[in-house]
Amino acid sequence: MEKIKRTKIIDVLKREDYGTTVNVKGWVRTKRGSKAVNFIALNDGSTIKNVQIVADVTKFDEEMLKQITTGACLSVNGELVQSIGSGQAVEIQAKEIEVLGLCGNDYPMQKKGQSFEFMRQHAHMRLRTNTFGAIMRIRHNMAMAIHTFFHERGFFYFHTPIITASDCEGAGEMFQVTTMNLYDLKKDENGSIIYDDDFFGKMTSLTVSGQLEGELGATALGQIYTFGPTFRAENSNTPRHLAEFWMIEPEIAFMDQTELMDLEEEFIKYCVRWALEHCQDDLEFLNKMIDKGLIDRLKSVVDTEFVRLTYTEGIKILEEAIASGKKKFEFPISWGGDLASEHERYLVEEHFKKPVIMTDYPREIKAFYMKTNEDGKTMQGTDVLFPQIGEIIGGSVREEDYDKLMHEIEVRNIPMKDMWWYLDTRKFGSCPHAGFGLGFERLILFVTGMQNIRDVIPFPRTPKTAEF
Amino acid sequence: MEKIKRTKIIDVLKREDYGTTVNVKGWVRTKRGSKAVNFIALNDGSTIKNVQIVADVTKFDEEMLKQITTGACLSVNGELVQSIGSGQAVEIQAKEIEVLGLCGNDYPMQKKGQSFEFMRQHAHMRLRTNTFGAIMRIRHNMAMAIHTFFHERGFFYFHTPIITASDCEGAGEMFQVTTMNLYDLKKDENGSIIYDDDFFGKMTSLTVSGQLEGELGATALGQIYTFGPTFRAENSNTPRHLAEFWMIEPEIAFMDQTELMDLEEEFIKYCVRWALEHCQDDLEFLNKMIDKGLIDRLKSVVDTEFVRLTYTEGIKILEEAIASGKKKFEFPISWGGDLASEHERYLVEEHFKKPVIMTDYPREIKAFYMKTNEDGKTMQGTDVLFPQIGEIIGGSVREEDYDKLMHEIEVRNIPMKDMWWYLDTRKFGSCPHAGFGLGFERLILFVTGMQNIRDVIPFPRTPKTAEF
């Protein structure tokens, strides 16, 4: 076979120099045809679109043509010709075909219309399907949007540690990390495990959030963001939970609550706009196959000014809806309690029909590090609530006053052992600052229209599942 | 104090609209002065440069001025004026000063010239020093360079799992991840621990490499790269080892050995060029304070064509150097053995005085997944060796033939339990592919001129150390 430099399919489909001989490589999506001609849809992952290969049956070895089955890997030299029937502007009239990799009948992605559950069990091969190819290209683009957004604004990407000796946020159950021989654990006279011989000489876990270390970065470098894996060992078998997921946590010195809301809104609109501009083909596919309202919903977020609403105002709206008989909720609602998903969705999807930034939550339902308002009752939280998704961003101004922070820690009985370094930020040149956290997979759910969080990460980690 | 929108110091220093009143916020680096005037060097992390604040002592409260100590956090309103003595083009004639955060005498970063070891013990505060500010801004820029490089070339960022149930690469000791109660481990009749009740229902560990899952991505999406944390539980207390570090692992379908070398060389030159173009101030500081040869070395890498050398040729050069008495090595050398650091550095720093891409290593010293050459003796590895650093990139073409791959696995007695998914890539539409791995901190060492890998990551994880 003549050696010709490969062209990616995304590039071949843009070309108009008909008559040129090109080389493409990829995997067979479908093969159909008559006795005279075979039509092979070839995909190489660079785009959701296939290039159509036209093979004149008389010109090729019959045995070789039989090897061209769904999933097989081909290298094709052929002439670029204008296409009429393929759905694309060009197709390739094959001159030479080499089968690089055979694909047998037991190829799990052979049949169309398999369930998502089946796909999860074959997550290593689902990446070769249209749906998961689209999701993964969008996922890449959202990561790139995030890095670009922060880079353009002078933020520094800051790697907070994954293995940590502190659990102070109390965000959830943690995974223990150890190198101890579990068959030979050392214990003291009281029966307590001695961690001296563990790798770090103490008990360590996987991080649940990089925020506290992120604050160290922000109070030195001014503006930082994290983008890394975080872990929750919660035994939750739901379409919304992963044991291992990626978080983005910007933290900004000298930022107040209004500026924080501005940043949150600008940030998420930037990401969604990036998707609309960079992922058109993939979004059109998902809009057609997965969620007919997807593109409209994305556009509406970009075009809409978010509602800014205090928790107290939110409660009032919900209470009025109940009192007027307009709405019934499963869970009760009263000032001081957490909003349930149904309450958030009512505000966003029915009452305002817009994303809502909810602020100034009761102290009791928020974390110790948030700045308390002058009323002494509420804290300067700023959560972004989205249609379909609910809370997509959780943010707040941080308490910069040492004494007030210590008070919150004591009231909550938070163990501050090993947390001296965090308190030092309030002791040495303390500064007002604020930040937020975004669960990356939540964003991908919103942007792809998918329903299950296990379908927007390549290899999900959930209870009893650590395959691949 | 009048509320004026804050300007970042990096932006203030570029302005020429003298006479304007601006607000800056930041931390005091130094204060000096006479009875009449105080000069305060203020830094906000946006740049290594300070802005000089000039305070006419008669205009401010004496007690407030006393609070302005090294490390204190200030908000300053003042007039932008042309500067003569500050080393910058502008300075700020203070009108109003507010001390946002006091800083006591026990501030650990108060004294200049502290040792790097002292800095490590105060890693939460070292970020506020010139050296570590510079390193962290460069670190951010290298991450941004990497994402931009791959994005521009149509690669997709691919998140491989952190928690894994397989250890097949055998790259090193692993950390175990568990939610089992270590005080109440269940065992079977033979005394073996039963993992049924562990979170994932089996023994799991932290990943040592995302390559194998990366190959799943590449054989579906065409070209992917990982950029995530990886872990080695090796008890190595050296300036070159971290227990937790970040790796970049691109993987590319249809790529051959020459194309792989081209990509490696283009990639690393792109990163170094980015540093030279985007991190000038920080590099100049490091060149002056840390390593006088730094900028010259970076420029030479960008301008030089890398040497491409087979392992066999490399051995010959080393043997000739020994035979001619030109060079003595501590460790012996012969075909088939691993090169020691001194051998690599001789080739790079003394013989060629250029980066070297070394190829085609003996099978015995390389991993099972590499493609074997037709000679049956060597494998298509492509490692990049750098001055000072040694191996900065480890790459190879992967074995795409199922039978040959299985042969390597069997010869090496690699446990392939739980690895069916990896073998499936060679069973279903197998394709030629290649990839490489870059240790992110190795790159940062090279670009900053720092000597100890613990100083180029915010919070290093090493034996007995998981602070912050």
User: Where are the domain boundaries for CATH 2.40.50.140 in chain A?
Assistant: 9-101
C-alpha to C-alpha distance for A170 and A166, rounded to whole angstroms: 10
Q: Pick from A133, A177, A213: which is nearest to B206 by CB? A: A177
C-alpha to C-alpha distance for A418 and B321, rounded to whole angstroms: 54
**Chain B partners of A177 at a C-beta cutoff of 8 Å?**
175-177, 206
Q: pLDDT means per 10 residues in chain B (468 residues)?
A: 96 96 98 93 98 97 96 98 87 98 94 92 97 98 98 98 80 88 95 96 95 97 98 93 98 98 98 98 98 96 97 98 95 95 95 97 95 97 94 97 94 83 96 98 98 98 95
Residue in chain A lying closest to B8 (CA): A222
Q: Contact B464/A201, CB-based, under 8 Å?
A: yes
CA angle B124, B129, B134 (to 5 degrees): 105
Q: In what order do the strands lie in the sheet with B433-439?
A: B156-157, B223-231, B244-253, B433-439, B390-398, B378-386, B356-362, B307-310
**Chain B partners of A143 at a C-beta cutoff of 8 Å?**
147, 157
C-alpha to C-alpha distance for B383 and B344, rounded to whole angstroms: 11
Mutant choice from A100, A132, A156 vs B, greatest count of B C-beta within 10 A: A156
Nearest Cα of chain A lies from the Cα of B314 at a distance, in angstroms, of: 30
Q: Pick from A124, A162, A228: which is nearest to B424 by CB? A: A124
Name B79's bridge partners. Answer: B21, B93
Which residue has tokens 């802005």?
B51
Sequence-distant (≥ 6) Cβ neighbours of residue B14 within 8 angstroms: none
pLDDT, average across residues A414-424: 85
Contact B194/A at CB under 8 A:
no
Q: Which CATH number fits domain B9-101: 2.40.10.480, 2.40.50.140, 2.120.10.30, 2.30.110.10?
A: 2.40.50.140
Contact B414/A at CB under 8 A:
no
C-alpha to C-alpha distance for A387 and A299, rounded to whole angstroms: 13
Q: What is the mean pLDDT of chain A?
A: 95
pLDDT of residue B129: 97
Per-residue tokens: B362: 């003996």
Flag the least confident range among A30-34, A82-86, A247-251, B451-455. Answer: A82-86
Q: Pick from B103, B199, B431: which is nearest to A233 by CB? A: B199
C-alpha to C-alpha distance for A176 and B62, rounded to whole angstroms: 53
**Chain B partners of A25 at a C-beta cutoff of 8 Å?**
253-254, 431
Q: Contact A465/B200, CB-based, under 8 Å?
A: yes
pLDDT band at A168; cut points 50, 70, 90: low
**Chain A partners of B468 at a C-beta cutoff of 8 Å?**
161, 213, 216, 421
Nearest Cα of chain A lies from the Cα of B395 at a distance, in angstroms, of: 21
Q: Contact B163/A243, CB-based, under 8 Å?
A: yes
Residue type, B157: Y
What share of chain A in percent tops pLDDT 70? 99
CA dihedral A108, A113, A115, A120 (to 10 degrees): 40
Query: Which residue in A124, A77, A79, A76 sits closest to A100, CA to CA?
Result: A76
Query: Which residue in A39, A126, A142, A132 sits closest to A91, CA to CA?
Result: A39
pLDDT of residue B204: 95
CB atoms within 10 A of CB B357: 21
Query: Which residue in A318, A360, A324 sits closest to A342, CA to CA?
Result: A318
Residue type, B406: M
CA angle B273, B278, B281 (to 5 degrees): 115
Contact B136/A at CB under 8 A:
yes
CA atoms lying within 13 Å on the CB side of residue B386: 25
Residue A172 has pLDDT above 70, yes or no: no
**Chain B partners of A254 at a C-beta cutoff of 8 Å?**
6, 25, 44, 75
Complex-level ipTM: 0.97
Contact A154/B at CB under 8 A:
yes
pLDDT in tens, B436-462: 999 999 999 999 999 999 999 999 999
Q: What is the 3-state secondary structure (H, E, C) of chain B?
A: CCCCCECCHHHHCCCCCCCCEEEEEEEEEEEEECCCEEEEEEECCCCCCCEEEEEEHHHCCHHHHHHCCCCCEEEEEEEEEECCCCCCCEEEEEEEEEEEECCCCCCCCCCCCCCHHHHHHCHHHHCCCHHHHHHHHHHHHHHHHHHHHHHHCCCEECCCCCEECCCCCCCCCCCEEECCCCCCCCECCCCCECCCCCCCCCCEEECCCCHHHHHHHHHHHCEEEEEEEEECCCCCCCCCCCCEEEEEEEEEECCCHHHHHHHHHHHHHHHHHHHHHHCHHHHHHHHHHCCCCHHHHHHHHHHCCCEEEEHHHHHHHHHHHHHCCCCCCCCCCCCCCCCCHHHHHHHHHHHCCCCEEEEEEEHHHCCCCECECCCCCEEEEEEEEECCCEEEEEEEEECCCHHHHHHHHHHCCCCCCCCHHHHHHHHCCCCCEEEEEEEHHHHHHHHHCCCCHHHCCCCCCECCECCC
Contacts 24+ apart (CB under 8 A), B402-408: B402/B426, B402/B427, B402/B430, B404/B372, B405/B368, B405/B369, B408/B363, B408/B368, B408/B369, B408/B372
In this structure, are residues B381 and B391 in contact, taking their beta carbons and an 8 Å threshold? no
pLDDT band at A414; cut points 50, 70, 90: confident
The CATH H-level (homologous superfamily) assignment of domain B126-173+208-455 is: Bira Bifunctional Protein; Domain 2 (3.30.930.10)
User: Where are the domain boundaries for CATH 3.30.930.10 in chain A?
Assistant: 126-173+208-455
Handedness of CA B335, B340, B346, B349 (dihedral sign): positive
**Chain A partners of B163 at a C-beta cutoff of 8 Å?**
175, 231, 243-244, 461, 466
How far is CA B344 from each of CA A90, B318, B339, B356, rounded to the nearest angstrom?
50, 9, 7, 9
Per-residue tokens: A380: 């300067």
Q: Write out residues 292-311 of A within 8 Å (CB-CB) of B.
A: none
* Count of pairs with CB atoms under 8 A, one residue in A, one in B: 311
pLDDT of residue B168: 58
pLDDT of residue A207: 96
pLDDT in tens, A175-194: 999 999 999 999 999 999 99
Q: Contact A468/B185, CB-based, under 8 Å?
A: no
Contact A177/B at CB under 8 A:
yes
Q: Pick from A124, A175, A422: which is nearest to B179 by CB? A: A175
